[in-house]
Every structure is written in C-alpha cells, then in structure tokens.
Structure 1
Amino acid sequence: MTSALAELSEALANVELTVPAAPARFLRLEFLEDAPEEAAAADVWSVTLDVSGLDAVPAAGDTVGLLCPNAADEVAAALDLLGAESRADRPCRLSLLPGTTKKAARVPPHLPEHASLRHLLTHCVDLRAVPKKPLLQALRDDAPLVMVAAGTGLAPLAGFLEERRARGQRAPAWLVFGCRHPELDFLLRDELEAALRDGFLSRLDTVFSRTGDRQRYVQHVLAEEQARLARWLVDEGAVMYVCGDAKGMAVAVLDEVVQTVAKAKEVPVSEAKKLVQQMQKDGQYRLDVWS
C-alpha cells in the first residue's frame, strides 16, 4: 500500500494543471464601525381602507385580512398533498360536520357555499398563513391603559388612541414606544404628540435603540419606571397591551412585568409568574405579537 501511494504521488507531481484565470476584480469589501443611519429605517406603509360599504362598523383593535389569489403551482401542490387533483374542478359544498362539538361552529362567512376545491384553494384561503393571533378588542371607558410597542407594533395601539379621541375618552393611558432612530422610523409621531397634547394620552415615553452610547429598548424604560408600572398594574388594575416582536421584545417585557409584580407584591419570582399568567387569563395582560 505504501509503495502504491508513493507511485501515485510521483505520478501526480508530473501532471501539468491548467488553472483558469481569475475574473477581473470589481467588488470591494469594507468593514464599518457602525451601520449607516439610513439602514436603520425599513419601508413602512400606511394604508387607508374605505369601509363605507360594510354591514358591520369596524372598531379599534379589529383585524383586517387581505386574501390575494394563491399561485397556481402552490395550489397544485396543495391539491397533490390532499390527493384531490382529479376532483379539483368538480363542484363541492361546504357544511358543518354533523354532531360537531366545536362551540359556535359555523362555516366562515367569506367562503362560498358552493365552489370547486381549486377555487377555494386559489381565492378563499391563505396557503402561507401563520397561526392567527387573538384579536384586540376595544377597552371599557374607565380602564387605565398601559401600552408597550416597538416599531410597527404601534399600529394597533394607534387605533385605540383614535377611538379614544372619537369618544372623547380621557381615562389614564400610558404609551411606551421604541424604534431605532427618532428621525428615521418614529412612526405616527405627530399623531402621538397630538394625543398627548389633547389629553387622550396621559404619558408618552420613547426610546431609540440606535442613538446614545448604548442600545436601549422599551423594557429598559419599564425597568426605570418600575414603581410607576407597579402602581398602574397592581394598584390601579390597568390593562396592559404589548405589541410587536414576539421573540425579543415581548419576552423581555414579560420578564420585566414579572419582576415588577414580584417586588410590588413582595413574593418570589415563581409566584409572580403565576400572578402574571392569571392576568393574561383575565385579560389584564394582552399580547398582539409576531415573529
């Protein structure tokens, strides 16, 4: 074996290799100390919908779903998984299963009673849908409100503020809002400042993660205002809404709320977690988050 390897090595040493020429250089890579400020802002669209033709009157916190036609190849893949390609264009009817145990069961109103399966999969369902989050509902007029939002998580909370203005409602409301830069992605700044000025928002705390010597987020504001948060949540029974990123912001805010409850109630953190879980069940601590 050793002699065979030696012979192979000697043979390879005598082989002439032709290496293709490298292409002309046209790119340059530079390492930056900090990200440029313009990279901090993402595109954000504000969309206004005409609801004058709807039978029901939308309320703050309602969710609007836009169903766009699914791609034909994705519909075909779904039909294949269902083993229904041969029957995809036959008429079918949707109805409830006899004896269903689901409470208040009904056929979703946006689905036609008679249609082909291909039509349903193309026009009536979202093949890429993520699990639905609970809908936010309008709060009762006398409920103090603590709102925590990061980035576009501000959108549903802005609806509450608009409804408060429409109703002339001035119950205590505190908003903690965070984004990257005050000049790049401070969403709805004029509206928030107007709500604060006109008394529809009692307190507004803002935090910007890309300014200053260290990165700060909404949870840091809550930590600094722990006594105020305890007074609102524990003493006054305020309803708290957390809107935005599920993996980072919402977890950090929840941890801060647990710490606040533990200190205010003078109980261990393990017991405070149970109290916050009960707050969630009672609707006092509500989430509208996504990842």
Structure 2
Amino acid sequence: MSWFSINGLVTSSSPVVITDQLASPADFLLHQLLSEYVKSSPDAKCIIISTAQDLVKWKAISSRSGLNLAQKLEQGSIIFIDVPNQLPDLSLSDGASLLPLLDLIRSCVERQNDAQNTLVIFDELATFEWIGHSALDISRFARALVAYCAKASGEPHPSLAVLQDALLFQGAISLVVRYHIAASGDLDSVLRILLQLSAYHIEVLPLSSGKSGSVSGEIALHAGVALSGKPLRVIPRSQALQYRLGDYHATYFERGTGHAVL
C-alpha cells in the first residue's frame, strides 16, 4: 500500500492541499491518489477539475497506473471538467466570475447523487491568478468550494458557518486541491487561506542539492489548521520522504538510503 492512503488523509470535513513547484510537479501524486481511490471500492465516484492538463494527458498518465480512465468516464463514475474548454470565459480577466465553475461542480455532484462518497480533485487553483483573476476572487471561490464540500458531508467547517448556512447539498465529498508555487516558502494570500482551511498540507519539493538521477524529489506532510483530532502522520521538511519516479509508479524511501520503505 502506498504511504498516501485516501482513507487516511483525505476527510470529508476539510481539504488536503498539495503544493508543488515547476521542478517538482505533483502530477504523480494526484494520479496515485485517483488510482487508489477508484480501486478502493466498486462504487467510488470522483470529479476531476483540471485548469491546465487536458483529458488526453490524464488518460495517458492514468493508464500507466493500471486505471482505465476512458472506461470510468463512460460509466459515469468519474467526471472530468476541462475548465479552459468547458468554461472559456473564465480565462477573461475583465471581471470574469468564478461562480460558473462552482455551479458546474454542483451540477456534476448532483449527477452522482447515488454515491455515498465522492472525491473532488482540483488541479490546480493557482492557474486562475496567472490568467488575471484577483487574489480576492480566488480566495472567495476557494472558501465557497470548501464550504460546499463540508456542508455536503454533514460536517460543517467552523470557520465557514456563514457560507454553509446558504448551501444545501447531499452526499459526502472529500476535496484535494493542488496549488502551484514559485518556490518553497512562497505563501501568497490565497495559499494562506487554503492552509487555514486544510486538514493536511503536502509539500512536493525539489532537491535542495539540485537534480539527481536516483532521486526525483522530496515530500513533506504537515497537519493543517482545520484538522480535528490527532494527525495520523507528520513528515517535517527535515525528515522529508524522498521519491523516485518510474514508468508506472513512484517509489518512496528515507533520505540517504535509496531503499524503498513503503
């Protein structure tokens, strides 16, 4: 079993936030998560919201992990939202609202109303800032999305009670959000809010010593502000887990060992 267990870290009350950088993209982690989740139950449902990677790339990467994404899409157990193609107006910076995307996510969840649990993967939120949306609008959208997921799960997020009072949804929803940053420690206002709302923060980091043929990068895991109860696991940066990307999956090992540990 992989160290990143969907049943362990992803909850229905607060999101998991994944940050990555250009030198250490977290694509592999999202696809590992999707594969594990879908294979965990025949009734598993998932909604993927992609702002950067198109469906062709998602299918190609998923096939390497043994997941037939095309089949799942046809069956309706996975819904893929290609934001640039389905909502092209969101690319406009002249007062374009992000609310149509939230409405689309709601409608997709309603199409899966027979599901007891739904995983929502948002890949990735920082794109909106690059195409001209203000940090305030992105933050409001993030808060509304988190409130939506928490309300649907019947576990209100304490810091979003006002927003949740206006939302009535059914079904339990777990949320994972990827947020791309320029460098370690680059905390803009949107990311600060995401971290305040999160149960866990996973950092996918490049090696501080530079590129290596045997190590692709490092992963640190932090408990989030919104986590209720004792964290299942914490991996500080000083003890970051290293990983090596292969053709079909990632191998994880402790620093300086090169031996797989999980």
State the TM bucket, normalised to the shorter chain: 0.3 to 0.5
TM-score by length of 2: 0.35
Structure ranking higher on relative contact order (CA contacts 8 Å, 6+ apart) = 2
Structure number, greater radius of gyration: 1
More strand by share: 2
